[in-house]
Structure 1
Amino acid sequence: MKKRYGHMLVVVALLAAGCNSTQKEAEQFREYDLSKPEKFNLPESLFEVSGIAFDKGRSDTIYAIQDEEGKLFRLAWDVPKQRHSKFGKKGDYEDVSIINDRAYILKSNGTIYTFPMAEAVFQEPEGVVEVKGMLPKGEYEGMYGDEGTGELFIICKNCAGDDSKNSVSGYILKTGPDSAIAQSRTFSINVDEIKAITGKVSRGFRPSGIARNPVTTEWYIISAVNQLLVVADRQWKVRDAHHLNGNMFIQPEGIAFDNAGNLYISNEGDDLFSGNVLKFRKTGR
């Protein structure tokens, strides 16, 4: 009896060790420990923050928008004071990118607003251009701007041509001098590749933000609806997926990287918490 009891203790100990190991591995996602962020609580004006970006990867200034007002905000890390430029009327604005000294703001219906970054220091910027009809009818929340190629990568949250339980489409637009934007090509995310890692994707995959890691060149795609962070390679093949802790990631809407490869995720606020930006330092693995 004592011998059998001893064997049971060994098995329990091994199972406990395995659970601790699994928990530790779950916290470590790629090169980032998603359990240990640095947190910047945003001012009330950005309670509903929906997108963030850096200019040329410089982290000294965070550029942000929120999904009710046509304003481009700028802040320094952990400094609650903000400045903004009003580029449009009230509306559902979802993401922001900066390419070649121009700001590009994505509206949920696919309309894009652009103006020179030199105007972003003024409350009423001049030279704002509204670009319509570049994207098919649908709902869009995620956009990434490639400084090197001048391309905008825009991913669907809910588009008519997609079945989000199987595939999600994306569109690549080429920016040019001044406000010129032209259609380029498309891409897609195979949701079955996410399911193969996570087991399921409830309600279909509905991205809310997209960015490219400057160190690994992989795509990081975030979904507030699914509470997921997905990583894909340059050919859009899914390599990893991670369920996000809802206590920490209240409503993850925006994602960006700085030049050093540090990861930033912005969250809209709720009844208990203000909007925030979480910073995850690259671990160097």
Structure 2
Amino acid sequence: MKYIYIAFFYILVMVVSFFGAYSCQNPNGKYTSPKGYNFDKPDKFNMPSSLLEISGIAFYKNSSDTIYSIQDEDGKLFRQKWDVKKQKNMKFASKGDFEDLAIFNERFFVLKSNGAIFTFPFSEAIKEESENVKETKHLIPKAEYESLYADPTNNQLYVLCKSCPVDKKKKQVTGYILDYKAELDSIVPADSFKLDLNQIKAVNPKLKASLSPSAMTKNPKTNEWYILSSANKLLVITDEKWNIKSVHKLNSSTFNQPEGIAFDKDMNLFISNEGDEVTDGNVIKFKYR
């Protein structure tokens, strides 16, 4: 009987230890991960000081061999290999508030917080300064924007409001669709859409029906939209028609200030985080399972 009690004691210790460790990683069970990913196990790549304020990230043809990125203050395009801090950069504009980055049609697209979009050829990434930068203004209403996605399947750009007058005092986030005319190298307004934030509470009653998008991308396998909110520490996933399917609360110890998001060709998910006085900027990778 003594041996039975001893065995039971050890089993009890193991169970308590397991749940104790789990609760440290996931207090109160409030942090969750989207299907296919484990947000408790990131592969973290700390950025150099030049990318402390890293914002948007993108891959060329979904290849994560090279990370292309921008940061909030300098009008520079950065490029570097995964886990290699040394970066090279190309100037495309003077200082400004640059928020997100996309690549398609052999061109870079950079979103400024006021809604202006800068474009320049992909081939100029290796230069010190681009000679063919085009800035397009007044495509969308005057407001604050941080999220851009370029869809190569339909030659369209998607921009989400972070803070727009049209959404004031409404439980919604407005987005705009822009057509890219490759033959003319021009961007023209096409349509708009809305996210119903009341759906957040329908999915998780413990969360507020608010969202300040800081980055967006599309899951190439499911066509679901992945929308980050740095201020709310959320990842919101919607279907193709912007209906909210799930909401994931993000652990601030992993996601310091999530400002960029992208998938690679192997469905691995990458999220960039801006740093601060005590934390480096970084890009974290979640392997697809």
Residue 3 of structure 2 corresponds to: none
State the partner residue of 1:190: 196
The 3 A distance-change label for structure 1 pair 237 and 280 is same
Alignment of 1:213 with 2:237, yes or no, is no
Aligned match for 1:268, one of 256, 271, 274:
274
Matched, 1:86 2:91: yes
CA separation of 1:157/1:164 partners in 2, compared to 1, >3 Å: closer, same or farther?
farther
Q: Mapping of 1:147-226 within 5 angstroms?
A: 147-163=152-168, 166-177=171-182, 179-199=185-205, 201-202=207-208, 204-226=210-232
Contact 2:90 2:125 in 1 (8 A): yes
**Structure 1 stretch 98-107 or stretch 178-187: which is displaced more?**
178-187
RMSD: 2.3
Displacement of 1:188 in angstroms is 1.1
Please report how far the alpha carbon of residue 56 of structure 1 lies from its aligned counterpart in structure 2 after TM superposition: 1.3
User: Alignment length, in residue pairs?
Assistant: 270
Post-superposition offset of 1:164: 6.6
Name structure 1 gaps, 5 residues minimum.
1-12
1:22 CA drift (Å): 9.5
After TM superposition, list the pairs within 5 Å mapping 1:90-169 onto structure 2: 90-163=95-168, 166-169=171-174
C-alpha distance in 2 between matches for 1:212 and 1:181: 20
Read off the aligned partner of 1:103 and give its amino acid letter: F
TM-score w.r.t. the length of structure 1 is 0.89
Q: Which amino acid aligns with 1:246?
A: S
Equivalent AA in structure 1 for residue 168 of structure 2: D
Match of 2:81 in 1: 76
1:29 shift after superposition = 2.5
Q: Give 1:259 deviation, angstroms.
A: 1.2
CA contact (8 A) 2:270 2:286 kept: yes
Inter-CA distance 22–227: structure 2 relative to 1 (3 Å threshold): closer
> Which segment drifts farther, 215-224 or 193-202?
193-202
Identity score, percent = 47
TM-score, reference length from structure 2: 0.88
Tell me the distance in 2 between the aligned counterparts of 1:80 and 1:263. 20
Q: Rate the CA distance shift 1:206–1:164 in 2: closer, same or farther, 3 A.
A: farther
> Does 2:253 align with 1:253?
no
Do structure 1's residue 55 and structure 2's residue 60 form an aligned pair? Answer: yes
Q: CA separation of 1:169/1:33 partners in 2, compared to 1, >3 Å: closer, same or farther?
A: same
Cα deviation code 1:128-156 (max 9, x no counterpart):
00100101110000001112211111100
Call closer, same or farther: CA 1:171–1:220 in 2, change over 3 Å. same
Distance 2:27 2:52 in 1: 34
Does the aligned pair in 1 maintain the 2:31–2:250 contact within 8 Å? no
SS at match of 1:144: strand
Stretches of structure 2 lacking an aligned partner (at least 5 in a row): 1-14
| Contact 1:46-1:66 at 8 Å conserved across structures | yes
Contact residue 165 and residue 203 of structure 1 kept, 8 A: no
Question: Which of the residues 230, 246, 262 maps onto 1:240?
Answer: 246
* Displacement over 6 Å in runs of 4+: 19-25
Compute the displacement of 1:200 (Å): 5.1
The residue type equivalent to 1:233 in the other structure is D
What is the deviation of 1:28? 3.7
CA deviation after TM superposition for structure 1 residue 179, in Å: 2.7
Q: For the residues of structure 1 that align with 2:75 and 2:238, how far apart are their CA atoms?
A: 31
Secondary structure of the corresponding residue to residue 194 of structure 1:
helix
**1:4 corresponding residue in structure 2:** none
User: Which residue of 2 is the match for residue 7 of structure 1?
Assistant: none
Q: Distance in 2 between matches of 1:126 and 1:257?
A: 29
- Structure 2 contact 52–280 (Cα < 8 Å) conserved: yes
